Chain A
Amino acid sequence: MAGFADLNVPQGPDKKCLQSLLEAAAHLGYSAVALNHVIDFKEKKQEIVKPVSPSELFPSLPIVQGTSKRIKVLTRLTLVVSDPSHCNLLRSTSANIRLYDIIAVFPKTEKLFHIACTTLDVDLVCINVTEKLPFYFRRPPVNMAIDRGIYFELLYTPAIKDSTMRRYTISNAISLMQICKGKNVVISSAAERPLELRGPYDVANLGLLFGLSESEAKAAVSTNCRAAVLHGETRKSACGVVYTVKKPRKVEEEETALPACKKAKTQA
């Protein structure tokens, strides 16, 4: 089984807070975290910024407890969509979107959920856990999502904070499990403070309350996260097989190469 991952650490403006979150995650034994950048289309015009590269943010990443490796930091973009027109952004080949490792959508209506599961090129579909579901899950889109390798994300921090939200979290999770049968589920934190993070084995245990079996619950924090990240990686490659990387070219070479090229053209 792959290492544990938490695919949702909100990327706030406070760098110190983020650093302490990363340290807490590494101490708990997560070997990968994804910094989440949320874009809500309801609020004015929002620009999709380039992801901040983790190496820029943190010069030295904390070491995962019990191993000698450093924690892996990924970037993630979450789009909160409440209108079908918002999805156009995902269809267009926006350069900035492609730079993110993981792309998630948070559909607000049943129609959008259907679109997200069946047609959009995303890795994660967020499930609302803070209020009563505005719609029922239906089998066709969920099955389609499972076939396409899209994962459903459940958050556990709201359940820690508040008892009403806990009720919604559990009931929404169970209604999802009745349809997806425990397949393709990812559990992540969305923790804003280090105290809200929980260890991976504890999260897997919480998964039992969501109606997952023991092995499914453990997969929800390890194997499924790995699969979601790999699904995101295929977006950057051709058919998930071929990568194209820009070859770093030296300045001097370019200078000498250019005239030769011109010459060849005129001759032809």
Chain B
Amino acid sequence: MAAPQLRRLGQAPRHLLVCEKGHARHARSRHAAHVRDHAYNCRVSFLIPECGILPEVLKSTVADVGEYYLVRSLPVHELVAQEFIDAFVKKGSCYALSYNTKIDQDNTAALLPNGKLILSVDKDTYEELGLQGRPSQYSGKKVMRYIITIDLTDAGFHPDSKKHNRVLWALKEKKPLEFDFLLAWYTNIGAGGSTLMSYFSKNQIQALKPKITFSTLRDLQCPVLQSNELQGKPDESCSTEELFEWLGAVLNQVSLDNTSSSFLSTYCCPQPNVMVEKAFLCTITGFIIPEKIIQLLEQLCCYFGEPKLAYWLTLTVHGFADSPVSWRESEHGFHKGGENLYNFVIFRNLDYWLQMAGTSRRMPDIYLQRS
């Protein structure tokens, strides 16, 4: 009687890990594009084995991750206003993400650097709002969530157009939506924080600095990796999955010694491994824009410019669990956990592995085809 239920219980929750390999200095390498595709990042951490003190160049790059801004109860129609579009969206990469809103319960909003405003709203709000959208891809027969995409840089979206007026009317009068927003702006001329500050001066805006923590891990067991062996070879190198699991344990400070008295974790480092005397771990948390991550990634590649003891280093980037998009414009869902993260493993010869992980909900199809 209970057989079907038990069978279902046996399945582990679905998660996806996509891996690909490349060379950082290859002319057609897409590593920067991958970073740019993932717009909203809340945590960046890198681990360098056999490194006691961070080189000055890297230290200054980390310090230069840049400020972000938190605006309290900002009406969404202000992001659609023509002055805002002209001043920020068209002149650089503008990132905005609603803060403290849950993707599975509340309405959320996000502004992508390509000028697309994405509203993920529940059924009631959608019906009140009167804007055209599409049902969320995670809904079954009963649609409870809709996604509205508004392209702010579209040529047809000028102040006198019907569409602009309708959007403005919907967001101003029909259903005034208000969120706390995390904002960041990047231009080629330089970060334009002060302009953002002055533009939203009448709203409650505060500048926030990312939190940076450095730590040195002593006597760490590190798996042995070979850049051309993604699947790993028994007794020679570890596979990407094993590394990913190990990295998760290291970043969360899970003990790796598998002592018999430990009831919390029996995890230990995959075989084969080497004992590393010290490893440097740096974690940055905040609203970190992809441009800065690309800079950091470049600097990490330059780390191998001089001869070093380490064979590889890793850079892990976590996305916001509650952002309405994960990669590019593909929808992001939250079922039991909304993790979306990617991890670079950079080898001494500047080969890299890129691992992209998503939750039980589907990953973007483009990535699945490529893997």
Q: Which chain A residues have a beta carbon within 8 Å of chain B's beta carbons?
A: 1-4, 31, 66-68, 174, 177-178, 201, 204-205, 208-209, 211, 213-215, 218, 222-223
Contact of B105 among A3, A174, A204 (CB under 8 A): A3
Specify which chain B residues have a CB less than 8 angstroms from the CB of A222 in the assembled complex.
104-105
Cβ-based interface call for B144 (8 A): yes
Q: Which of B1-25 contact A (CB under 8 A)?
A: 1-2, 4-5, 8-9, 13
Given the complex of chains A and B, what is the CA–CA distance between A12 and B180 in angstroms? 38
Specify which chain A residues have a CB less than 8 angstroms from the CB of B140 in the assembled complex.
215
Specify which chain A residues have a CB less than 8 angstroms from the CB of B145 in the assembled complex.
1
Taking a contact as CB atoms under 8 Å apart, the answer to whether A208 and B122 are in contact is no
Taking a contact as CB atoms under 8 Å apart, the answer to whether B106 and A174 are in contact is no
Taking a contact as CB atoms under 8 Å apart, the answer to whether A174 and B2 are in contact is yes
Cβ-based interface call for B336 (8 A): yes
Specify which chain B residues have a CB less than 8 angstroms from the CB of A214 in the assembled complex.
13, 335-336, 360
Contact of B336 among A31, A177, A205, A213 (CB under 8 A): A205
Given the complex of chains A and B, what is the CA–CA distance between A54 and B99 in angstroms? 30
Nearest A residue (CB) for B105: A3
* Further contacts, 16 of them, CB under 8 A, given A1-B145, A2-B105: A1-B144, A3-B105, A31-B105, A67-B100, A67-B101, A67-B102, A67-B106, A174-B2, A208-B8, A209-B9, A211-B4, A214-B335, A214-B336, A214-B360, A218-B104, A223-B144
- B74 CB, min distance to chain A CBs, angstroms: 14
Taking a contact as CB atoms under 8 Å apart, the answer to whether A4 and B335 are in contact is no
Specify which chain B residues have a CB less than 8 angstroms from the CB of A178 in the assembled complex.
1
Taking a contact as CB atoms under 8 Å apart, the answer to whether A2 and B8 are in contact is no
Specify which chain A residues have a CB less than 8 angstroms from the CB of B202 in the assembled complex.
none
Cβ-based interface call for B370 (8 A): no
Interface of B is mostly: loop
- B14 CB, min distance to chain A CBs, angstroms: 9
Given the complex of chains A and B, what is the CA–CA distance between A213 and B360 in angstroms? 13
Taking a contact as CB atoms under 8 Å apart, the answer to whether B336 and A223 are in contact is no
Given the complex of chains A and B, what is the CA–CA distance between A31 and B122 in angstroms? 15
Nearest B residue (CB) for A64: B105
Given the complex of chains A and B, what is the CA–CA distance between A210 and B311 in angstroms? 49
Interface centre among A66, A204, A213 (most CB of B within 10 A): A66
Interface centre among B1, B104, B140 (most CB of A within 10 A): B104
Cβ-based interface call for B142 (8 A): yes
Specify which chain B residues have a CB less than 8 angstroms from the CB of A1 in the assembled complex.
104-105, 122, 144-145
Also in contact, A174 and B336, with CB within 8 A (given A1-B105, A2-B122, A214-B360): no
Given the complex of chains A and B, what is the CA–CA distance between A178 and B13 in angstroms? 23
Given the complex of chains A and B, what is the CA–CA distance between A38 and B140 in angstroms? 35
Specify which chain A residues have a CB less than 8 angstroms from the CB of B5 in the assembled complex.
174, 177, 209, 211
A selection of 30 A-B contacts at a CB cut-off of 8 Å is A1-B105, A1-B122, A1-B144, A1-B145, A2-B105, A2-B122, A2-B144, A3-B105, A3-B106, A31-B105, A67-B100, A67-B101, A67-B102, A67-B106, A174-B1, A174-B2, A178-B1, A201-B336, A204-B336, A208-B8, A208-B9, A211-B4, A214-B13, A214-B335, A218-B104, A218-B335, A218-B336, A222-B104, A222-B105, A223-B144
Taking a contact as CB atoms under 8 Å apart, the answer to whether B335 and A215 are in contact is yes
Taking a contact as CB atoms under 8 Å apart, the answer to whether A66 and B360 are in contact is no
Q: What sequence of 0s and 1s flags, for each residue 216-253 of chain B, a beta carbon within 8 Å of any chain A beta carbon? A: 00000000000000000000000000000000000000
Contact of B142 among A68, A174, A177, A223 (CB under 8 A): A223
Specify which chain A residues have a CB less than 8 angstroms from the CB of B335 in the assembled complex.
214-215, 218
Taking a contact as CB atoms under 8 Å apart, the answer to whether B122 and A66 are in contact is no
Q: What sequence of 0s and 1s flags, for each residue 99-140 of chain B, a beta carbon within 8 Å of any chain A beta carbon? A: 011101110000000000000001000000000000000001
Given the complex of chains A and B, what is the CA–CA distance between A1 and B9 in angstroms? 24
Specify which chain B residues have a CB less than 8 angstroms from the CB of A209 in the assembled complex.
5, 9
Given the complex of chains A and B, what is the CA–CA distance between A201 and B13 in angstroms? 14
Given the complex of chains A and B, what is the CA–CA distance between A3 and B102 in angstroms? 9
Taking a contact as CB atoms under 8 Å apart, the answer to whether B105 and A4 are in contact is yes
- B134 CB, min distance to chain A CBs, angstroms: 17
Specify which chain B residues have a CB less than 8 angstroms from the CB of A2 in the assembled complex.
105, 122, 144
Given the complex of chains A and B, what is the CA–CA distance between A68 and B178 in angstroms? 12
Given the complex of chains A and B, what is the CA–CA distance between A261 and B140 in angstroms? 57
Also in contact, A213 and B8, with CB within 8 A (given A174-B1, A201-B336, A218-B335): yes
Question: Closest 9 A-B residue pairs measured CB to CB?
Answer: A3-B105, A211-B5, A1-B104, A1-B144, A223-B144, A201-B336, A174-B2, A66-B100, A174-B5
Specify which chain B residues have a CB less than 8 angstroms from the CB of A213 in the assembled complex.
8
- A13 CB, min distance to chain B CBs, angstroms: 33
Given the complex of chains A and B, what is the CA–CA distance between A31 and B4 in angstroms? 33
Nearest A residue (CB) for B144: A1
Given the complex of chains A and B, what is the CA–CA distance between A100 and B218 in angstroms? 62
Taking a contact as CB atoms under 8 Å apart, the answer to whether B100 and A68 are in contact is yes
Interface centre among A2, A68, A208, A222 (most CB of B within 10 A): A2
- B321 CB, min distance to chain A CBs, angstroms: 12
